[in-house]
Structure formats: structure tokens, C-alpha cells
Amino acid sequence: MLVDSHCHLDFPDLAARLPEILAKMAANQVQAAVCIGVNLEDFPRVLALAEAHPQLLASVGLHPEHTEGAEPTAEQLVALAAHPRVVAIGETGLDYYWHKDKPEWQRQRFRTHIAAAKACGKPLVIHTRDSAADTIRLMAEEGAGAVGGVMHCFTEDWEVAKQALDLGFYISFSGIVTFKNAKVVKEVAAKVPLERILVETDSPYLAPTPFRGKTNEPAYVRHVAEEIATLRGLTLQEVAAATTANFFRCFPAAGTALAA
């Protein structure tokens, strides 16, 4: 069985097809998926999915690209994360691709999310784009290793991966690892200790080969796991077993939520 550790099923192009998507998850032995919060305005919609469907879980946070609405306090995030089907704080982190002036508000928001994760004891889902040095620095400065979490949709090099691993974080690979030109990502996927790897889709984005360019969905996480198996000389079953066990270690609340 597999777990999609990061998807956005509340987004319109997936929400409209939810029964089909859940059926395809089951057909591809994807036992669970985490619906990731990207802003507080839409969080009720994310949580509703996790409440309505036993195989879905949720996270709460503000994506670093989200520039509208009020900034949450750590206390607000902790209160929202108290729901038993919320298993993580995030998506949070830094994104200097869209914000090339590296605004301090983004860094402060990241600090707030780390503080919230430490306060509620739930792990972080971290996004980093064109900002790896600052992301790792803030993780270390703010003590993110106390709760750990996952570096989602990892696209950095081995040095960044090693620093994240040293802080106690897991490394999650998306459909990008199946792309022919993703040489660096493939190298990292072959090198990260198997007990620290997660798999994800980030759907509806980044559909893996052979669906590249189409709408992604959790069932396709199987192709991510198959590529990692090929890179490491393992079977799909070995990668599925390892990454699923890793998921439940990374997100301790998930086991309780799924068993409820």
C-alpha cells in the first residue's frame, strides 16, 4: 500500500472528480492522502474532505506564495491543528522564485509556523524554491528539528538534502523524479536513506511520466514509487512498504486518525 503525502484535492479540477479520484486511489493501492492547506480562507474546505472521507487527512498553513488575507498567529494555527484529522502544520516555507526581493514577511510567517508546530507537536510540511539556504537556516535557528516533518516536492541537491536529514526531516519526491531531465533529483532519490523517503503527487500539479502535462492525482503516486524503486534497484513493494512506514513515523497523528 502507498500513501500520497501531499496533494490538493480541494482544488476545483480535482474536487469535481472526487468519487473517481478516490476509486482510482483504491485501485492503485493508495491507502491514504494528505490534503494540504495553503491558506486559511480555504482551510474549512480542506478539513471537510478529511472529515468526510476516511482515507483523507489534512494539514493547516499558509503557503509562502499566498499574499492576501490576515497573517495567522501561532496560537490560531495551533487551535486549527487540534482537530484529530489535521496531521501537520503547513504548507509553509520560503519561495524566492515569485518573491525575488526576499521579503521579511515571508520569513516571519515561516517562523510562526515553526512555533506553531512546536507548540502543538505536529510536524511541518516545508516548501522551498530558490531559497534553500534561508530555509535551512531558519529551520535550524527556530528549532524545527524538535518536531521534524518533510521537505515536500524536493528538487534541491544532495547538500541541501543532507542538511535537512541532519535536522531530522524526511525527503519527499514527486512526479519530477520521473522526468528525464531531472538528473539531480534522481541522484538524490538514489542516495537518501530509504527510511527517510516519502512519496507524493502535489496533485493537480507535476503529473509523473507517462501522464506528464496532464492533471495529476493521488493514484499516480505509484509511478513515483516505481521510479524510486528503479533508481535504487528495489521492487515497488519494497519502496511502498518503506515509504508508507516512513509516512506514519513522520506524521504520528495519521495512524490514529485513519484508525478512527
* The C-alpha cell that represents 219 in the structure block: 493514484
3-class secondary structure, 22: helix
Name the least confident of 70-74, 84-88, 193-197.
Answer: 70-74
Q: What is the number of alpha carbons within 13 Å of residue 91 lying toward its C-beta?
A: 25
pLDDT digits (tens, 9 = 90+) for 191-227: 999 999 999 999 999 999 999 999 999 999 999 999 9
* 236 CA to centre of own chain: 21
* The C-alpha cell that represents 144 in the structure block: 524545527
Q: Is the pLDDT of residue 101 over 90?
A: no
Tell me what percent of the residues of the chain surpass a pLDDT of 70.
Answer: 100
pLDDT category at 68 given cuts 50, 70, 90 is confident
Q: Is the pLDDT of residue 151 over 80?
A: yes
* The C-alpha cell that represents 78 in the structure block: 495551533
Place of cell 513515523: 249
pLDDT at 35: 98
- CA-CA-CA-CA torsion for 130, 181, 157, 222, nearest 10 degrees? 100
CA pair distance 43, 59, nearest whole angstrom: 9
Nearest to 9 by CA among 39, 34, 41: 34
pLDDT at 70: 81
pLDDT at 103: 86
pLDDT digits (tens, 9 = 90+) for 112-131: 999 999 999 999 999 999 99
